[in-house]
Structure 1
């Protein structure tokens, strides 16, 4: 099976044609470098034509081209010699260092430098005349100079390519970091929005359902009062969050994050919505992220109890010991007869994410009631590390 050579580059074709035409023109005008050599006359055209043909391979087969070109350069010295042949050989040497393998690009300047030094020393020892230095200089111009130039150009070209790839990689990593930051911010906003508004909307849904299902003016009036209070508070929370999101100049003061000091008001609001809640807490000074996470966990647990819990007592307990804060909320678990608000499960996901960000543990699910023995309760328990080492 015949091997097809790759198609030569357009620039290489132009170089080959220009070199061949110039060489023929110099021969026709009698512009020869070494008249009176062993192979006179038209013999100079043989290395010229072969060297021009090798120019077609300067980019696709640079190493074979420079090897065969060296043979043609030696042959050219036995003819009247053409400057075009020598010039095309320097181009082949340059191309071999630029387009050849990395190993060839490293070896060519070294080997041509050694050849140049060897020729200079050899002719000095043979001729014992200063003219020998001129032979060494010409050898360096024909071989070492183009090889070193090609290797230098290749080095800068590879360095520029490496810098470009590094810039693209840096831009890609920056885009990935930006996407992760946007995703984390979206998740944080979703948790805050859910925790702030879900409690009010759940109370509105349950009391509105009760008002529609009971034909009692007093009950309807009480339900509408609770609905109005929760809708006003929920609307205020929404407006505050939207104001923070819209403000890009930083002129608005950010709303203070809720702390555990607000648990009393949170529990009182749950009682107003019909829950029987008890609060028991033992804790000292806590980092702000831990206080916010604990507050939101209690808030979401009370919201879930309002939507899904059976009639009975809801307990909220906080205890700080061994470098961690434990938050436990229990509520009756089972089928309820009254109205209930729909749930999406986003609350449990949000609580789990908050705890995971602090490196804590979270669990939620049904359990056996230790007081009654035969009943079940829904338990939400989160352990939040409060020491510096745990937070890292």
Structure 2
């Protein structure tokens, strides 16, 4: 037989394990019958002296049939195999039913999660058959030999099935752990990506959106007024300044996207509020600033204060052009207080639709630092007020 034929035969055996094993046991039964081989004749000789080896084919064929269903119904097959094996041992003394019983015991142990009942059943069968052998023969040695033979074979089948089952369970556990680790890694990567997206969205909203809104508002205000060269040029200068700042910010962010090792520069803090107020004045607001904060604020608080003031001024530019805006920054009782009041818009608001993201982002920023932010209308205008612990670690 060539190598190709051997390979095909092995493939067929792997695909048809049950029929292949049944055929093997059938050949063993025929060979045992032809050679007169028995296993019980030496154990209980008084019962099998006149038995013909060919009679052993009867339980052997029953055992072979059980091999065909052992994988589908392992527990029923095991019970039937034990019965066939017991009948064979005490009546025929054949070889195949005993081998098949051990085989089915292995398969049942391997395929069943609850293996303790199988162990108890195996021990019970061995004990009953040993006692029966001693009682029938009247010889304690027969009971001992039956217990030794069946106990050794049954123990081997149970041990091997348990070992294979535990190996499979361990492999399955490792696979689940690997899959859990893969999912956790994917979740962490997604969270990191989402965090970067959120940071980019905040940066775009905090900086770029404010400049773009200022450009739209100043240009729309200029178009709605009668021609005035001085006013028009002032509006153009404001639009130019906002566009330059937006352009510089976009270039920085694009550089960050292209170079993963670069971080977005930390936004300016309280020191930039004077510049923010001046930019708001150029956009048409009447801004007054009261800043009593120390210069040694922690970085998160410093940046949060600046962002709150920046977003509040941007909202005033969008929704209350020409309004009077009062900014008050103080530290009281271990908290930094930020209050921005606006009233008396002198021009209709520009046709810009907000989505509320700005205030929501500010609330999240204040909450992350252990503070709170409230925003809403007052009798004479609008107020944004935030209180943040001053001792937040930097």
* TM over 0.5, shorter chain: yes
Match of 1:139 in 2: 150
TM-score norm. by structure 2 comes to 0.83
Q: Is 1:25 the equivalent of 2:31?
A: yes
Aligned partner of 1:216 in structure 2 is: 228
What root-mean-square deviation, in Å, do the aligned CA atoms of Structure 1 and Structure 2 show? 3.0
Shift of 1:20: 2.0
Given candidates 301, 310, 315, the residue that maps to 1:299 is 310
| Offset, 1:68 | 2.0
**Most deviating of 328-337 and 80-89:** 328-337
User: Are 1:382 and 2:386 matched, yes or no?
Assistant: yes
Give the structure 1 partner of residue 298 of structure 2: 287
Gaps (5+ residues) in structure 2? 1-14, 42-47
Q: Deviations over 1:169-218 (max 9, x none)?
A: 23223322322332232112101111111222122112212333331222
Output the CA distance in 2 between the equivalents of 1:75 and 1:19. Answer: 18
Aligned partner (choices 42, 45, 59) of residue 47 of structure 1:
59
Cα distance, 1:243–1:318 mapped onto 2, change above 3 Å: same
Q: State which of 192, 216, 220 in structure 2 corresponds to 1:205.
A: 216
Query: What CA distance in whole angstroms lies between the structure 1 residues aligned with 2:75 and 2:213?
Result: 79
Deviations 1:119-161, CA, capped at 9 Å, x for gaps: 89997xx8687x9876554223321111111012111211221
8 A Cα contact 2:323 2:344, kept in partner: no
- Please state how far the C-alpha of 1:266 moved relative to its aligned partner: 1.2
Distance 2:349 2:60 in 1: 103
Q: 1:310·1:332 contact (CA, 8 Å) conserved in 2? A: no
Matches within 5 A, 1:1-392: 10-34=16-40, 36-37=48-49, 39-100=51-112, 102-103=113-114, 105-109=115-119, 112=122, 136-213=147-224, 214-250=226-262, 254-284=264-294, 285-309=296-320, 311-332=322-343, 336-337=347-348, 339=350, 341-368=352-379, 376-388=380-392
**Cα deviation per residue 1:37-90 (whole Å; 9 max; x = unaligned)?**
354343211210111111123122222222221221122123453332222111
Aligned partner of residue 185 in structure 2, secondary structure: helix
CA distance in 2, matches of 1:20, 1:184: 67
Alpha-carbon spacing, 1:128–1:48, altered in 2? closer, same or farther (3 Å) = closer
Shift of the alpha carbon at 1:238? 1.5
Deviations 1:212-244 (A, max 9, x none): 333122221121122112211221121122222
The verdict on how the C-alpha distance between 1:348 and 1:245 changes in structure 2, with shifts beyond 3 A counting, is same
Q: 1:259-316 CA distances to partner (integer Å, 9 max, x unpaired)?
A: 1111111111211222111111233332211211211111011011111115331011
Contact 1:19–1:52 at 8 Å: present in 2 too? Answer: yes
How far has the Cα of 1:248 moved from its partner?
A: 1.9
**Unpaired runs of at least 5, structure 1:** 1-8, 369-375
